[in-house]
């Protein structure tokens, strides 16, 4: 059994839902916050017994907008974690924060409580683009929020930005990216907008950049960020040395994580389960309500190992695959690997990340630069 654990804490409240958002969140339930945090505290305390032997290496408060509720609610939950779980001395403890919902005093409270990493959802420094997304803040508020976070003492900050937005040009996007770089956060997450079914955007006639412009934004992101000292370690994530998001890497490397809160997902010892998504049920039930419990087959574990691990620019470590499954990655996926090696979309690398054509000397299997452009198609081929 793995002795390490990560915790995800879901806070589903927002001022209002953004037009592109398909996360489990609500823009009209603020009156239920106090009851929600009582239920969340109860779940944390009652569930702790199963994980007494685990060392919690990362904690991530996501949403929703975790910076919307009173700071005391959030800080009390972190206190519950410290009291009931074995939190590592150097644990990464992150909080998602949206401009317009967090004052300097709030951020100072987070820092004093033990949070050591903030992820700020700026998305764009163009006010018109922010309006089209349905964001509640403008660029001036975003800048002020970042500056307040620094004043509050945070020295590990991520900024989220988005490309391929309605009405966005390559020039406009690069202006946002340039302004983000000038702030010099430790980490930048740069995502392309995906129109999800069930969101308001899905039913709207949107003026979206064409595929060529989208690809141009993607490539220029990597170029500009590399020039300014950010290495890409995952398809959409860039960090200065020493500041990769440890929590998210747990997901990509299939580490064990426990999700608490409404609809939160967990993976423990290759068993996947979710909390109820029904808010009333979550608030009133006397038990911790788990849904969709599934013990993953070896086949499913292999598939996840590949399509999650290939998101990382270092790719998958072949020794890890053999240790987990008792056979080499080439025993299982030789045909699909050879297919994409021939197309130069995959690369074999030795321990020093030098490209090799010798499978016996291969330590990593990774997407090439060209492969990153068509990663979804490649990853799908690793599903049996």
CATH classification at residue 247: 3.20.20.70
**235 and 304 both lie in a single domain:** no
- Whether residue 249 contacts residue 266, with contact meaning beta carbons closer than 8 Å, is answered with no
**93 and 224 both lie in a single domain:** yes
Q: What is the DSSP string of 310-357?
A: TTBTT-EEHHHHHHHHSS-HHHHHHHHHHHHHHTTSEEEE-TTS-EES
Residues linked to residue 187 through DSSP beta bridges, in sequence order: 158, 239
- Over residues 148-188, the pLDDT tens digits come to 999 999 999 999 999 999 999 999 999 999 999 999 999 99
**246 and 330 both lie in a single domain:** no
Question: Does a structural domain hold residue 268?
Answer: no
Question: Does a structural domain hold residue 48?
Answer: yes
- Whether residue 12 contacts residue 262, with contact meaning beta carbons closer than 8 Å, is answered with yes
**59 and 188 both lie in a single domain:** yes
**204 and 310 both lie in a single domain:** no
**247 and 333 both lie in a single domain:** no
Question: Does a structural domain hold residue 44?
Answer: yes
Q: Compute the chain's Rg from CA coordinates.
A: 21
Question: Does a structural domain hold residue 121?
Answer: yes
Question: Does a structural domain hold residue 288?
Answer: no
Question: Does a structural domain hold residue 314?
Answer: yes
Residue with token string 């702030």: 183
**150 and 80 both lie in a single domain:** yes
Query: Can you give the pTM of this predicted structure?
Result: 0.95
Question: Does a structural domain hold residue 165?
Answer: yes
Domain that holds residue 134: 4-252
Other CB atoms within 10 A of residue 65 CB: 25
Q: How many domains does the chain have?
A: 2
**190 and 328 both lie in a single domain:** no
**328 and 237 both lie in a single domain:** no
Q: What are phi and psi of 346, to 5 degrees?
A: -120, 155
Q: Of 252, 282, 309, which marks where a domain is finished?
A: 252
**223 and 323 both lie in a single domain:** no
pLDDT truncated to tens, each residue of the chain (384 aa)? 579 999 999 999 999 889 889 888 988 788 899 999 999 999 999 999 889 899 999 999 999 999 999 999 999 999 999 999 999 999 999 999 999 999 999 999 999 999 999 999 999 999 999 999 999 999 999 999 999 999 999 999 999 999 999 999 999 999 999 999 999 999 999 999 999 998 989 889 899 999 999 999 999 999 999 999 999 999 999 999 999 999 999 999 999 999 999 999 999 999 999 999 999 999 998 776 677 899 999 999 999 999 999 999 999 999 999 999 999 999 999 999 999 999 999 999 999 999 999 999 999 999 999 999 899 999 999 987
Residues linked to residue 190 through DSSP beta bridges, in sequence order: 161
Q: Of 196, 231, 252, which marks where a domain is finished?
A: 252
- Whether residue 352 contacts residue 333, with contact meaning beta carbons closer than 8 Å, is answered with no
Angle, in degrees to the nearest 10, between helices 211-227 and 170-183: 20
Q: Of 252, 280, 308, which marks where a domain is finished?
A: 252
**226 and 109 both lie in a single domain:** yes
């Amino acid at each position: 059994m793995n002795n390490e654990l990560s915790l995800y804490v879901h806070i589903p409240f927002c001022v209002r839902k953004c037009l592109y958002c398909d996360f489990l969140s609500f823009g009209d339930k603020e009156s239920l916050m106090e009851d929600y945090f009582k239920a969340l505290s109860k779940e944390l305390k009652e569930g702790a017994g199963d994980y007494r032997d685990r060392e919690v290496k990362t904690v991530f408060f996501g949403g929703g907008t975790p910076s919307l509720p009173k700071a005391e609610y959030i800080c009390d939950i972190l206190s519950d974690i410290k009291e009931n779980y074995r939190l590592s001395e150097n644990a990464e403890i992150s909080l998602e924060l949206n401009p317009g919902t967090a004052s300097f005093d709030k951020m100072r409270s987070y820092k004093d409580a033990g949070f050591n990493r903030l992820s700020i959802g700026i998305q764009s420094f163009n006010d018109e683009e922010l309006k089209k997304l349905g964001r509640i803040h403008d660029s001036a508020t975003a800048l002020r929020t970042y500056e307040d976070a620094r004043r509050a003492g945070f020295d590990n900050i991520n900024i989220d930005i988005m490309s391929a937005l309605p009405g966005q040009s390559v020039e406009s996007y690069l202006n946002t990216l340039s302004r983000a770089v000038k702030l010099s956060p430790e980490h930048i997450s740069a995502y392309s907008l995906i129109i999800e079914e069930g969101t308001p955007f899905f039913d709207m006639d949107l003026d979206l950049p064409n595929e060529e412009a989208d690809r141009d934004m993607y490539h220029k992101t990597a170029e500009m960020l590399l020039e300014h000292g950010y290495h890409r370690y995952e398809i959409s994530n860039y960090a200065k040395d020493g500041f990769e998001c440890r929590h998210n890497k747990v997901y990509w490397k299939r580490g064990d994580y426990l999700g608490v809160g409404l609809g939160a997902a967990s993976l423990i010892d290759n068993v996947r389960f979710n909390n109820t998504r029904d808010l009333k049920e979550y608030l009133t039930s006397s038990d911790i309500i788990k849904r969709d419990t599934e013990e993953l087959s070896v086949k499913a574990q292999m598939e996840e190992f590949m399509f999650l691990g290939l998101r990382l620019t270092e790719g998958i470590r072949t020794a890890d695959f053999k240790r987990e499954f008792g056979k080499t990655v080439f025993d299982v996926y030789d045909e699909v690997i050879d297919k994409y090696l021939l197309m130069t979309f995959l690369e074999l690398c030795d321990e020093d990340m030098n490209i090799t054509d010798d499978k016996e000397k291969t330590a990593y299997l990774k997407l090439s630069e060209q492969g990153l452009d068509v990663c979804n198609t490649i990853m799908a081929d690793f599903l049996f």
